[in-house]
């Protein structure tokens, strides 16, 4: 449910398979959306699937779209959007113009995807073990040859990704944030990069599931955060109506920002799920 200048709207939805949800089934326009487990922003087991899911569905509904949303590991989610199997990938960070595609070697990600305006924001930071000395970390450039865990397919920050793509770091790829945390606990890497809200939630989950509380408590964020990252829709260029979809999403995002609807969705989702 969300409220805009036209009134209050309730959007119906249901889980239709292990990893797929469908919303607003009677809408005249339908899109296929791919996403990932990225709690507390979005997740299958979260109350209302998280505020990002609520925002995505509301933005699409405002433009008369229904959506089929499927959760995948991030690398597969990206591939499905880049090759046109789905219409939208969300949430995505800013994609650097020269960022390479993992799906189509020799091409750029932006050859296959177009970003909307941001609809939300989240922090990104490095994490380390408590006993690991990071006094040498005066800039990202000072981390040359450092063993760093990254999630395969994630955008991070423009500077970090440029250095990573240039081979400046000794990178180990993880399949998701939980795997990345396990790499850090096992001392296979000295640092990992990610959203602190996601990492803290995954650390708490790992502690409960695997009795690794002492190890998990030894993981701390490296101050300060690297930056705040925008959250975007990435629209597949292989969708023949992609330009229209992009225009309509940007129109919806602008309207929602103007009237404070996105912040209200975030607040109401948190409050109703207490």
Are residues 114 and 51 part of one domain? yes
Are residues 109 and 11 part of one domain? yes
Are residues 44 and 23 part of one domain? yes
What the block records as the tokens of 223 is: 């101050």
CATH of residue 163: 3.40.190.10
Q: What are φ and ψ of residue 57, in 5° steps?
A: -65, -40
Q: In which band, very low, low, confident or very high, does the pLDDT at 3 lie, cut at 50, 70 and 90?
A: confident
Q: How many domains does the chain have?
A: 2
The overall average pLDDT reported for the chain is 94
Taking the C-alpha atoms of residue 182 and residue 45, their distance in angstroms, rounded to an integer, is 21
Taking the C-alpha atoms of residue 178 and residue 233, their distance in angstroms, rounded to an integer, is 24
Query: In terms of residue numbers, what domain contains 252?
Result: 2-121+230-272
Are residues 14 and 111 part of one domain? yes
Model pTM? 0.92
Taking the C-alpha atoms of residue 237 and residue 72, their distance in angstroms, rounded to an integer, is 20
| DSSP-derived secondary structure for 232-251 | EEEEETTSTTHHHHHHHHHH
Looking at the DSSP assignment, which residues form a beta bridge with residue 114?
Answer: 235
Are residues 106 and 36 part of one domain? yes
Taking the C-alpha atoms of residue 155 and residue 218, their distance in angstroms, rounded to an integer, is 26
What's residue 2's pLDDT?
85
**112-131 average pLDDT score:** 97
Looking at the DSSP assignment, which residues form a beta bridge with residue 171?
Answer: 148
Are residues 94 and 29 part of one domain? yes
Are residues 234 and 116 part of one domain? yes
Indicate the residue among 211, 228, 245 that finishes a domain. Answer: 228
Q: What is the pLDDT of residues 52-83, one digit of tens each?
A: 999 999 999 999 999 999 999 999 999 999 99
Are residues 198 and 149 part of one domain? yes
Are residues 106 and 7 part of one domain? yes
> Which residues fall within 8 angstroms of residue 234, CB to CB, at 6 or more apart?
81, 88, 89, 90, 92, 95, 113, 114, 115, 116
Are residues 243 and 108 part of one domain? yes
Q: What is the pLDDT of residues 171-229, one digit of tens each?
A: 999 999 999 999 999 999 999 999 999 999 999 888 776 666 667 779 999 999 999 99
Are residues 104 and 65 part of one domain? yes
């Amino acid at each position: 449910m969300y409220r805009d200048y036209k009134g209050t709207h309730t959007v119906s939805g249901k889980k239709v398979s292990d990893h797929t949800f469908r919303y607003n089934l009677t809408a005249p326009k339908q899109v296929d959306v791919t996403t990932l487990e990225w709690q507390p922003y979005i997740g299958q087991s979260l109350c209302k699937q998280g505020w990002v899911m609520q925002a995505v569905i509301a933005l699409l509904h405002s433009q008369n779209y229904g959506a089929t949303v499927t959760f995948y590991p991030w690398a597969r989610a990206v591939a499905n959007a880049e090759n046109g199997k789905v219409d939208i990938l969300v949430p995505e960070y800013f994609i650097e113009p020269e960022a390479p595609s993992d799906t189509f070697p020799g091409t750029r990600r932006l050859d296959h995807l177009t970003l909307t305006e941001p609809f939300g924001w989240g922090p990104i930071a490095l994490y380390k073990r408590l006993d690991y000395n990071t006094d040498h970390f005066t800039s990202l450039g000072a981390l040359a040859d450092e063993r760093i865990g990254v999630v395969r397919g994630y955008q991070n920050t423009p500077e970090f990704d440029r250095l990573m793509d240039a081979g400046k770091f000794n990178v180990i790829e993880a399949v998701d944030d939980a795997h990345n945390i396990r790499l850090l606990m096992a001392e296979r890497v000295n640092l990992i990069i990610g959203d602190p809200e996601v990492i803290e939630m995954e650390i708490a989950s790992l502690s409960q599931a695997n009795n690794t509380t002492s190890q998990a408590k030894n993981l701390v964020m490296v101050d300060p955060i690297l930056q705040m990252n925008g959250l975007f829709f990435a629209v597949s260029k292989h969708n023949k109506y992609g330009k229209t979809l992009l225009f309509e999403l940007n129109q919806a995002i602008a309207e929602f920002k103007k009237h404070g609807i996105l912040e209200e969705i975030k607040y109401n989702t948190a409050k109703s799920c207490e």
